[in-house]
Chain A
């Protein structure tokens, strides 16, 4: 049996007066890619933030890499270094005088007491390699405030990749990436999982992607409605239970038929 990287037991998290996440239990095995799906307001981001200690929990236990996360969100720094988090929204102040190189470098540090110039060379090499992996080397000396949304996402991914992690937590990470970047992004996640044994927990609304790439799915609508392989968790019955009985998943047609849409302007020959 594979090692458990994350264990959540009977977790309940309150947002103001209501339970946004209630009595949720699951565990993640090492080297697996798990997706959390569910409707808006279903508690997906709340769950992830509680796992990271960003939000306090009302009850339940969380254990990461064999170490319990305390009620106040404390986890030893050597374990924190093994976890990376890519948030749903990252609103950078455009006036901030910080380069991409500096931001990605912050992902490499353990963030304890240290001299400002310590490990500069090692950090620099790691930053260069991480930027190459996300195809963003050309951005290295740019100010983070000048990046487009997609570029910011790539840079944040480099921030996650700059140090070898064991658990990568992504909150709708590919949002804002173009089709090519999104494809490269999932390819990279697959490599991290296959070659380096990273465990991935991601929130996603792209059910096709989940079917294609994920080993396991957690269906969350405040409570955990179902969990299992994509075939089981994303069956019509499960989706109806999660999103409502009138839910019909829309299938993208990758070869659009112009005649199918009467009002659409015909493309020029």
Chain B
């Protein structure tokens, strides 16, 4: 019985669409991990969530004007991200309030727009929760290029990014062009969200950015370790989620996010065990 299921399972991963889904999950896991590690520390988690929700509007506009939604989505998200970033700097509103206004308004307008389109291809479920099994070779190429750009940018400016994350004032005093770095980061984040939506959907996409990084934060003591662990956990959750999805015949995107949650909960518990055997640091009085 088990051997039959195992054989079926292994056969499944020999199918091209399954291999593409696995590779797509891994690429998204790496991108989410690398950008997510900075996103959560800069308190931009809700920003990525708002981008994900607002993506529905970009897709619906594509349908409305009879254009390929994928081609509309990426420029739409980049423009929206820059607009939101501008508004966050210029208005006196609280960040979470402004992001809430944008994401809920975008969702509402998107649903109204889709009602004009009528019977659009794909279905709302696919937009909301994604279909990683439908990833095409060209999607993998886009993801690969974006991943390469993200790794090059973060890798070559890692120490600048670290200082920016610690304190923007210190970074400006050292001559770091903070606005330029902020804009590049937000554009990259919006592209990652946009490219990942096809596989994961607008509702779950921010989980790829936020959850592995939060799990890594629980387990890390150095910044470099934290970034690498965030990437590693992003990949681990994608692979395990895909395996669980294939084995139990569950939806792939939600399976990956559920795996991320399991990893996060484990990461929350592990330091508690560690603290039982290691004495934490407390400031010492000097002689």
Interface residues of A (CB under 8 A from B): 49, 52-54, 73-75, 77, 80-81, 83, 85, 87, 90, 92-93, 95-99, 101-103, 105-106, 109, 111-116, 138, 141-144, 146-148, 151, 159, 180
Contacts and interface: CB of A to CB of B under 8 A. Distances in A.
Given A83-B173, A102-B223, A103-B166, A113 B157 contact: yes
B165 A111 contact: no
Interface string B154-180: 011111101101110111111110000
Across the A-B interface, give the 9 residue pairs with the lowest CB-CB distance, nearest first: A80-B175, A85-B173, A97-B220, A97-B226, A116-B158, A148-B283, A113-B156, A98-B223, A52-B173
B273 interface: no
A124 B15 CA distance: 50
Looking at chain A's contact residues, is the secondary structure mostly helix, strand, loop, or mixed?
loop
B246 to A, nearest CB: 34
A143 B221 contact: yes
21 contacts: A49-B169, A74-B175, A81-B174, A87-B173, A90-B167, A90-B170, A92-B166, A96-B223, A97-B225, A97-B226, A99-B221, A99-B222, A101-B222, A102-B162, A111-B160, A114-B159, A115-B156, A116-B158, A138-B284, A146-B280, A148-B283
B221 to A, nearest CB: 6
Given A95-B41, A102-B223, 13 more contacts: A53-B172, A85-B170, A103-B166, A106-B162, A106-B166, A109-B159, A111-B159, A114-B159, A116-B155, A142-B281, A148-B283, A151-B283, A159-B170
A97 B175 contact: no
A90 B166 CA distance: 9
What's the interface size class on B, roughly? Answer: 20 to 34
Nearest to B230: A97
Contacts of B41: 93, 95-96
Nearest to B159: A109
Instruction: Please classify the interface of chain B as helix (H, G, I), strand (E, B), loop, or mixed, using the class held by over half of its residues.
Output: helix
A90 B220 CA distance: 22
A73 B155 CA distance: 26
Given A111-B175, A142-B281, A96 B159 contact: no
Interface of B: 41, 155-160, 162-163, 165-167, 169-176, 216-217, 220-226, 280-281, 283-284, 286
Nearest to A54: B172
A116 B175 contact: no
Contacts of A95: 41, 217
B156 A114 contact: yes
A54 B165 contact: no
A97 B172 contact: no
